[in-house]
């Protein structure tokens, strides 16, 4: 029986919907971030349960909203709740003050508070408890992302032993960085409690194996076709690199809608013929937004002929707003935007249009369609789906993708994108110059290469290759 025929139990920190407290009471909103964008199209194809946090405290109104949502879908949403102290130590603390910066190579931003670890384990056990109740012996259990690396170990303690899999959406750091984590061995051993481990890129898989060699005794990695098998005293774990994709057809089809095209025209026409450079990001310090703005400032300063001929539209979706570092970043970005606009703006020309809110899909597609250039310059990123979404939305095979060489997607998109080092503001400014002057024929050749790769290695391909790896378990046991 192929894994596609099994029921799926998805476990992630956030459910695909988040509950917001409004004046009228709790209301459902789509959760932001690449994990949800990627997984959502897979839900239509199969039945299952999704276990995760709603972003709110428990209440009968919240439970009722979830039940109502679940009734309308093949996928039942099962909430996990945390008390304020757990939220602060597990989510804000261990997940976002330690793992997130460390795994993005930003160790100086880490706060290795020793009280966080116990809460990380407690909350991971809570997710496992909730999932164990929902899991039948035939199910595939699919845990997602760094918040929940110890859920496999907890599930085994609860007697759930079959088809335990984990996908790591963010980068996995090299041993030199990972070794700073006081709980490095415990985390690695917990990961080895899964049957299948998926990473975004070969670089992440290589780093993981290098960390195992350095910090875990008696764990041996060997090649098995295109994957690796790690033998450890308790079990055998399959380890692979599976670059996550998008639902290409959904983006391409959506972008060809005539209302989207009309809205894109409206955006372009409102900008007096300027070339549109677009940034779209969750508001996160890993996305390199201040560095990008500095590069744009460099362009305006040293290429004055571009003034009044280009505009940067920077769309940021609010994220993790109760974490002080994120609020500081927002203030920094807004100051930079207003300084650049103040310094270079003229009547009839605003150099940067700054949008700080979540856009619905048609509006997002209209911006992708309107943009001559996408500027995707994270300092480090597990994958970065925005780069893929932009290309998929280019229905006329024009446009230029400028992409950070430190995004996971650069491994797949290096042949069509202009790759840049996001810390090198001059080089990014020069890449914008090159993009502005790129002849249509070269744009077409590049974007077609990008689209072909993104179309082929789409989200369904990702699922099938990950599960195909899982199916190898039966062959080797």
Tell me which residues touch ligand F6P (CB under 6 A): 13-14, 32-36, 145, 169-170, 319-320, 382
Q: Which residues bind ligand ADP (CB under 6 A)?
A: 32-34, 37, 280-282, 315, 317, 358-359, 364, 383-386, 389
* CB 384, min distance to ligand ADP, A: 4
* Of 155 and 283, CB closest to ligand ADP: 283
Q: Pairing state of beta strands 25-30 and 17-22? A: antiparallel
The strand ranges marked E within 233-359 are 236-241, 275-282, 310-317, 352-356
* Of 169 and 372, CB closest to ligand F6P: 169
What the block records as the tokens of 90 is 């597990």
Question: Which residues lie below 8 Å from residue 338, measured CB to CB, with a gap of 6+?
Answer: none
Question: Which residues lie below 8 Å from residue 31, measured CB to CB, with a gap of 6+?
Answer: 14, 15, 16, 17, 18, 55
Q: What residue number has its CB nearest to ligand F6P? A: 33
294 binds, among ligand F6P, ligand ADP, none (CB under 5 to 8 A by kind): none
* Of 35 and 219, CB closest to ligand ADP: 35
Nearest to 365 by CA among 470, 475, 246, 461: 246
* Of 13 and 412, CB closest to ligand F6P: 13
The strand ranges marked E within 105-215 are 140-144, 164-167, 196-199
Give the separation between CA 362 and CA 260, rounded to whole angstroms: 6
465 binds, among ligand ADP, ligand F6P, none (CB under 5 to 8 A by kind): none
389 binds, among ligand ADP, ligand F6P, none (CB under 5 to 8 A by kind): ligand ADP
8 A C-beta contact, residue 442 and residue 398: no
**Residue 419 host element (H or E):** strand 418-420
* Of 12 and 458, CB closest to ligand F6P: 12
Nearest to 414 by CA among 369, 374, 446: 446
What is the phi/psi pair of residue 327, to 5°?
Answer: -70, -40
* Of 13 and 54, CB closest to ligand F6P: 13
280 binds, among ligand F6P, ligand ADP, none (CB under 5 to 8 A by kind): ligand ADP
Question: Is 169 an annotated catalytic residue?
Answer: yes
Q: Rg (Cα) of the chain, in Å, rounded?
A: 22
* CB 34, min distance to ligand F6P, A: 5
14 binds, among ligand ADP, ligand F6P, none (CB under 5 to 8 A by kind): ligand F6P
386 binds, among ligand F6P, ligand ADP, none (CB under 5 to 8 A by kind): ligand ADP
Nearest to 463 by CA among 50, 4, 1: 4
Give the separation between CA 155 and CA 149, rounded to whole angstroms: 11
* CB 30, min distance to ligand ADP, A: 9
* CB 382, min distance to ligand F6P, A: 6
CB neighbourhood size of 302 (10 A): 12
Spell 151-163 as b/e; 16+ CB within 10 A means b: bbbbbbeeebeeb
Q: Please identify which of the residues 139, 204, 284, 381 carries the catalytic annotation.
A: 381
104 binds, among ligand ADP, ligand F6P, none (CB under 5 to 8 A by kind): none
Question: Is 372 an annotated catalytic residue?
Answer: no
What the block records as the tokens of 170 is 């963010």
Give the separation between CA 285 and CA 282, rounded to whole angstroms: 9
Give the separation between CA 11 and CA 8, rounded to whole angstroms: 10
- For the chain, give the number of residues: 477
317 binds, among ligand F6P, ligand ADP, none (CB under 5 to 8 A by kind): ligand ADP
* CB 220, min distance to ligand F6P, A: 30
* Of 32 and 414, CB closest to ligand F6P: 32
**Residue 147 host element (H or E):** none
145 binds, among ligand ADP, ligand F6P, none (CB under 5 to 8 A by kind): ligand F6P
Q: What residue number has its CB nearest to ligand ADP? A: 34
Give the separation between CA 183 and CA 171, rounded to whole angstroms: 18
Q: Please identify which of the residues 169, 204, 281, 284 carries the catalytic annotation.
A: 169
* CB 17, min distance to ligand ADP, A: 14
Give the separation between CA 257 and CA 249, rounded to whole angstroms: 12
Bin 272: left if φ > 0, else alpha if -120 < ψ < 50, else beta. Answer: left
* CB 33, min distance to ligand ADP, A: 4
Only one residue has tokens 């939305």, namely 393
* CB 35, min distance to ligand F6P, A: 4
Bin 30: left if φ > 0, else alpha if -120 < ψ < 50, else beta. Answer: beta
* CB 239, min distance to ligand F6P, A: 19
* Of 35 and 209, CB closest to ligand F6P: 35
* Of 277 and 315, CB closest to ligand F6P: 315
Active site amino acids: 169, 381
């Amino acid at each position: 029986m192929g894994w596609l025929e099994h029921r799926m139990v998805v476990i992630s920190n956030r459910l695909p919907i988040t509950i917001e407290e409004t004046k009228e009471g709790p209301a459902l909103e789509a959760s932001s971030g690449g994990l949800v964008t990627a997984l959502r199209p897979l839900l239509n194809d199969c039945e299952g349960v999704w276990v995760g946090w709603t972003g709110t405290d428990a209440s009968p109104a919240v439970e009722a909203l979830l039940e109502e949502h679940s009734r309308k879908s093949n996928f039942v949403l099962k909430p996990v709740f945390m008390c304020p102290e757990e939220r602060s130590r597990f989510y804000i603390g261990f997940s976002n003050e330690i793992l997130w910066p460390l795994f993005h190579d930003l160790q100086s931003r880490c706060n290795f508070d020793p009280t966080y670890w116990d809460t990380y384990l407690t909350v991971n056990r809570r997710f496992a408890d909730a999932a164990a109740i929902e899991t039948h012996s035939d199910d595939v259990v699919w845990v997602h992302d760094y918040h929940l690396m110890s859920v496999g170990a907890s599930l085994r303690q609860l007697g759930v032993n079959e088809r335990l899999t984990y996908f790591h959406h963010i980068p996995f750091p090299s041993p030199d960085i990972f070794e700073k984590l006081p709980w490095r061995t415990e985390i690695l051993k917990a990961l080895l409690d899964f049957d299948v481990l998926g990473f975004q890129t070969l670089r992440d898989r290589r780093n993981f194996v290098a960390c195992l060699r350095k910090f875990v005794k008696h764990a041996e990695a060997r090649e098995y076709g295109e994957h690796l098998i790690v033998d450890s005293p308790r079990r055998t774990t399959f380890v692979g690199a599976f670059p996550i994709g998008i639902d290409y057809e959904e983006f391409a089809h959506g972008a060809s809608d005539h209302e989207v095209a009309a809205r894109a025209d409206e955006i372009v026409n409102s900008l007096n013929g300027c070339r549109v450079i677009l940034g779209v990001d969750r508001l996160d310090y890993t996305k390199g937004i201040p560095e990008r703005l500095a590069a744009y400032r460099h362009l305006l300063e040293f290429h004055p002929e571009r003034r009044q001929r280009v505009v940067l539209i920077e769309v940021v979706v609010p994220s993790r707003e109760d974490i002080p570092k994120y609020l500081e970043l927002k203030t920094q970005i807004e100051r930079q935007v207003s300084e650049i606009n103040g310094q270079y703006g003229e009547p009839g020309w605003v150099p940067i249009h700054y949008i700080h809110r979540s856009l619905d899909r048609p509006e997002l597609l209209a911006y992708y369609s309107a943009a001559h250039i996408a500027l995707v310059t994270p300092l480090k990123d597990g994958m970065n789906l925005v780069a893929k979404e932009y290309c998929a939305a280019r229905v006329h095979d024009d446009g230029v993708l400028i992409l950070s060489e430190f995004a996971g997607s650069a491994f797949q998109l290096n042949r069509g994108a202009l790759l840049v080092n996001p810390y090198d503001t001059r080089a990014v400014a020069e890449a914008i110059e090159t993009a502005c002057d790129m002849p249509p024929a070269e744009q077409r050749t590049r974007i077609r290469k990008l689209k072909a790769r993104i179309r082929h290695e789409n989200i369904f391909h990702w699922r099938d290759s990950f599960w195909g790896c899982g199916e190898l378990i039966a062959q080797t046991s």
